[in-house]
């Protein structure tokens, strides 16, 4: 092959190993024979990409190629993959990730099997989320069978190696110029066959049990927070460790508090008169109450900040703030006397406004008169 390996993979000469690997995966997916049956051109491109990657993914081969080109590789005894088996023995791990074939199994099918992780959704109140709480919950999970210790076999008996896959958990079949591996249908990938199953777990190595778990919810959790309890998931088999339990927090809404991170928001209704003359009010907080001074002339939707009255940080870095938004209420149902007082108040306000606008209007007329006199001259 005389075509530049970098051109084949579509990368530059200074590309990192990760970039080269990513480009190769893309080409392998595109030209794989399974996707292009009986396509000689696609097969050739597939082999080109495999050869280019085999060189550029190896630091020593890449250095020789960058310095001396194809001839330099020949001088080292390398002349490219001689067969499809050479390609797949070198690229098995990558092809296994992409297509599920050709690679060596990384996990011993006869070895320990870790238990599955579990998820538990827990709903708590708004105040429990900001202050923290302890909850005891009951979960049902599959634990390692005590009788057979997770082996699945009756005590005194052992599992036999699967005759179909010979303990590999995979069966290999030829397809075209390469080999494809798939899960063994007889042992279902376990590599073993239970001849004398345990009477308690029916050969699964696991039994269903209910268990009470104590959860310590820290102060400051929010909706979507996740807690991990190591080893509280399903039991392992053949000596494998148990999985983990993940608790997902769901928080109920509060009657009048709202929350954004560590900040608490509160809308506080205030009468028109108290907003106009100013006052002191007691506002509820997540810890009780706090006094807030309202200056005279406060307008609706004005926000006040109470420092340190928010939610504690999960990382122990202080507390957030509380934002109080004042909503000035306009009275709707008034008595006759209230209407009289408001009308009197409005008359006084009108006199002040009229005095201001009268002065403004006289000033405007004076300017206009001067302009007219100038035009007459």
Range of weakest confidence among 182-191, 218-227, 356-365: 356-365
Q: What's the mean pLDDT in 140-160? A: 89
81 burial class (0-12, 13-18, 19+ CB within 10 angstroms)? middle
pLDDT (0 to 100) of residue 328: 93
The Cα–Cα gap between 186 and 180 comes to: 17
Instruction: Give the relative orientation of helices 84-99 and 40-56 as an angle to the nearest 10 degrees.
Output: 90
Q: Which has the higher per-residue pLDDT, 175 or 226?
A: 226
Say if residue 102's pLDDT is above 50.
Answer: no
Q: What's the mean pLDDT in 223-233? A: 91
Q: Which of 26-40, 126-140, 141-155 has the highest mean pLDDT?
A: 126-140
The Cα–Cα gap between 45 and 35 comes to: 13
pTM of the model: 0.58
Residues 56/96, Cβ–Cβ less than 8 Å: no
At residue 103 the predicted structure's pLDDT band, cuts being 50, 70 and 90, is very low
Give the model confidence (pLDDT) of 258-305 as tens digits. Answer: 999 999 999 999 988 899 999 999 999 999 999 999 999 999 999 999
Q: Which of 34-43, 74-83, 89-98, 175-184 has the highest mean pLDDT?
A: 34-43
At residue 358 the predicted structure's pLDDT band, cuts being 50, 70 and 90, is low
- Mean pLDDT rounded to a whole number for the chain: 82
- Measure Cα distances from 223 to 121, 244, 253, 264, 287 in Å: 11, 21, 10, 14, 20
pLDDT (0 to 100) of residue 80: 59
């Amino acid at each position: 092959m005389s075509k530049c390996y970098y051109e084949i993979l579509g990368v530059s000469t200074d590309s990192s190993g990760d970039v080269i690997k990513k480009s190769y995966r893309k080409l392998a997916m595109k030209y794989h024979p399974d996707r292009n049956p009986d396509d000689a051109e696609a097969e050739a491109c597939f082999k080109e990409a495999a050869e280019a990657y085999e060189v550029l993914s190896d630091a020593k081969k890449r250095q020789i190629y960058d310095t001396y080109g194809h001839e330099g590789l020949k001088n080292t005894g390398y002349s490219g993959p001689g067969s499809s088996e050479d390609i797949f023995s070198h690229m098995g791990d990558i092809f296994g990730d992409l297509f599920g074939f050709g690679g060596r199994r990384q996990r011993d099918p006869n070895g320990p099997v870790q238990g599955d992780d579990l998820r538990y959704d827990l709903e708590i109140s708004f105040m429990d989320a900001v202050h923290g709480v302890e909850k005891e919950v009951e979960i049902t999970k599959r634990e390692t069978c005590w009788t057979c210790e997770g082996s699945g076999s009756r005590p005194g008996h052992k599992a036999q190696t699967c005759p179909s896959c010979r303990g590999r958990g995979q069966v290999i079949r030829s397809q075209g110029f390469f080999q494809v591996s798939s899960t063994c249908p007889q042992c279902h990938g376990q590599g073993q066959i239970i001849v004398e199953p345990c009477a308690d777990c029916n050969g699964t190595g696991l039994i269903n049990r209910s268990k009470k778990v104590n959860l310590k919810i820290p102060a400051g959790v929010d909706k979507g927070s996740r807690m991990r309890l190591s080893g509280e998931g399903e039991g392992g088999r053949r000596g494998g460790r148990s999985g983990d339990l993940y608790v997902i927090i769901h928080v109920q809404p509060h009657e009048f508090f709202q929350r954004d991170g560590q900040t608490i928001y509160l809308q506080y209704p205030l009468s028109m008169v108290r907003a106009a003359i100013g006052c002191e009010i007691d506002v509820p907080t997540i810890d009780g109450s706090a006094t807030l001074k309202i200056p005279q002339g406060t307008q609706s939707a004005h926000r006040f900040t109470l420092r340190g009255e928010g939610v504690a940080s999960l990382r122990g870095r202080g507390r957030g703030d509380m934002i109080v938004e004042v909503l000035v209420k306009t009275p709707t149902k008034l008595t006759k006397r209230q209407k009289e007082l408001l009308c009197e108040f409005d008359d006084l306000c009108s006199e002040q406004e009229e005095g201001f606008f009268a002065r403004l209007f006289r000033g405007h007329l004076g300017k206009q008169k001067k302009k007219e006199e100038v035009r007459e001259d």
